[in-house]
Amino acid sequence: MANLLSNRIAETDLIAGDHIYSWRKGYTYAHHGIFVGDGQVIHFTNGDEEAAFGSSWSSPFSGISGSAMAAQPVAEYEECPACREAFSSGIKEGNSVIKTCLSCFLKGGNLYRCQYGVNPAFFLANVRGGTCTMAATDSPEEVVQRARYLLEHGFGDYNLMNRNCEDFAIYCKTGLQASSGVGISGQASYAATTAKALDQGTSSILTSGFSIPVALTLGVCKGFALYLMDRYASDPGARKDVNRVDPEELVSQLRRRKGRPSTAAEPQTTS
């Protein structure tokens, strides 16, 4: 069962519509997806995700994720032929939303479930982004329906900071999109707010006029306080620039941006 420090669950606890994730690269980042039942996960990736996260999202806070920091040995994992083909076909056809088995999604890592509708105190206690949100989830049936629709019609172009695997999972769970075009994933806000907090905290150290130990303490405290405030404000459960968008309209918007025909006349998948 999930607790304050870890969202790790057993595969037997999974239900269709769960937003799940697994840590990668020594907890540098997590890969997210939607469990749709029958041992299958629908998720969004572009193939370069691991390289991008590993090089761009490291920070002094990157090791913070509660009891999940216990060593997680991950052996080299070789995807099964069916999942490898699903990935190759999706990338080749320009649709980075793919469906794979749970084992290939986890790649030998542990299984975690993102928590929805948590209260502000619980949210802020989970310092690491991407583990919980104050936003409420829709019904499992709606979640799975959105994921299957996007599996057929796509979720636009992958973007590390604005449209990544966690953005996909959160949209499937909530139907929320930011009108500003800025991503709503906790990992993206974690990276951005951490960098901002470190920058402002360093500025405090350099300009405080106090002794070095006191200045360091004040700088760290200020930086961490700014981090928490920004992280709270960027969560989809607190943001003012998020709206509910039907998947048909979302896909049409994404296609119009690329000069492609709308999907209005296309049938919705029932698979």
pTM of structure? 0.78
CA 196 from chain center: how many Å? Answer: 20
Mean of the pLDDT values across residues 123-139? 91
Residue 249 has pLDDT above 80, yes or no: yes
User: Of 101 and 128, which is predicted with more confidence?
Assistant: 101
DSSP string of 50-105?
HHHHHHHS--TTTT--GGGGS----------HHHHHHHHHHHHTT--EEEEEHHHH
Please report how the helices 247-257 and 140-153 are oriented relative to each other, as an axis angle in degrees rounded to 10.
30
- Domain spans of the chain, in order of start: 1-49+78-177+242-256, 185-234
Residue 211's H or E segment, with its range, is none
User: Of 25 and 175, which is predicted with more confidence?
Assistant: 175
CATH code matching the domain that covers 1-49+78-177+242-256, chosen among 3.30.9.40, 3.90.1720.10, 1.10.286.10, 3.40.50.2300: 3.90.1720.10
Query: Which pLDDT score, from 0 to 100, does residue 189 have?
Result: 62
Per-residue CA distances from 49 to 44, 57, 149, 194, 255 (Å): 10, 11, 23, 20, 23
Report whether 110 contacts 72 (CB < 8 A). yes
Residue 132 has pLDDT above 90, yes or no: yes
Residue 138 has pLDDT above 70, yes or no: yes
Phi-psi region of 39 (alpha: psi -120 to 50; beta: other; left: phi over 0): left
Nearest alpha-carbon partner for 167 in 245, 226, 105, 221: 245
Residue 112 has pLDDT above 80, yes or no: yes
| Residues involved in catalysis | 31, 43, 165
Q: Report pLDDT digits (tens) over 45-104.
A: 876 554 444 443 333 333 333 333 333 444 567 889 999 888 888 877 888 899 999 999
Query: Which pLDDT score, from 0 to 100, does residue 70 have?
Result: 37
Q: Report pLDDT digits (tens) over 202-227.
A: 555 445 554 555 545 655 576 667 77
